Amino acid sequence: MMENDMPEQDFAQIYLTTPTEFDLEAFKPRLAAVLAAVPVSCVRIALTTTDAGLLGRAADQLRDICHKFDVAIVVDNHFLLVEKHGLDGVHLVSSSRHVREARKLLGEDAIVGAYCGSSRHAGMTAAEIGVDYISFGPVGDMGGLGDGARADASLFQWWSEMIEVPVVAEGGLDDDSLRAVRDHVDFVNFGSEIWQAQDAAAEAVRLVAILKGA
């Protein structure tokens, strides 16, 4: 599980998600700069392409960067790519669907996480099946995307008090929403929050300062 792979720290660990589309050669130095600037627990490849060759190249090259920094790397949904490309696990975006299948194929040592929207029930179901973490979101405004449902701070507080499975906050994290959830989560997921910045590493440093209590 991810939390056992990192030294203890007194603030939520950082979990990065790649853009859904990117130029691999341009993205690699940006990722490396962020990993050098802040402590990251895991990176998730979130490419939406169905081009297996492109996914494979991204998996191989981003894996090498992540493992150089002792950072785990997982991929959205495509658990059949995990062993082939030496990844550390899979993130399932459809809650508990395919959890058993992924676990059976990848074994107990692989990371298997699940995104559960804002649903306590979906989170508890996935936790009972045996995921390593639950991800709830979006936490903040997604600019009109999605159905408008939010995972508010009370959900993370309840989960942290009642459930042992680690929880991730993701989606639309601005400064205020980050402050609202930071004391109730094990991981905070940053994606567009940093990649849209001209200097992704500097923005990551700024957000970590908020995680630390700024």
Predicted local confidence at residue 6, as pLDDT: 42
pLDDT in tens, 68-82: 999 999 999 999 999
Residue 89: strand, helix, or coil:
strand
Judge if the upstream peptide bond of residue 138 is cis by omega within 30 degrees of 0.
Answer: yes
Does 1 score more than 60 pLDDT? no
Contacts of 53 (CB under 8 A, 6+ apart): none
pLDDT in tens, 47-58: 999 899 999 999
Predicted local confidence at residue 5, as pLDDT: 46
Contacts of 134 (CB under 8 A, 6+ apart): 113, 114, 116, 123, 126, 127, 159, 163, 165, 166, 167, 168
Residue 133 to residue 192: CA distance in whole angstroms = 21
By residue count, the chain amounts to 214
Residue 49 to residue 6: CA distance in whole angstroms = 31
Q: Which domains does the chain have, with CATH numbers?
A: 2-211 (3.20.20.70)
pTM of the model as a whole: 0.92
Predicted local confidence at residue 199, as pLDDT: 98
Q: pLDDT band at residue 96, thresholds of 50, 70 and 90?
A: confident
The answer to whether 1 touches 111, Cβ cutoff 8 Å, is yes
How would you classify residue 205: left for phi > 0, otherwise alpha for psi between -120 and 50, otherwise beta? alpha
pLDDT in tens, 99-152: 999 999 999 999 999 999 999 999 999 999 999 999 999 998 766 555 668 899
Q: pLDDT band at residue 7, thresholds of 50, 70 and 90?
A: very low
Token pair belonging to 83: 């062993």
Strand ranges for 126-212 from DSSP E: 133-136, 167-169, 187-190
Predicted local confidence at residue 140, as pLDDT: 85
**Amino acid letter at 38?**
V
Per the prediction, the chain carries an average pLDDT of 92
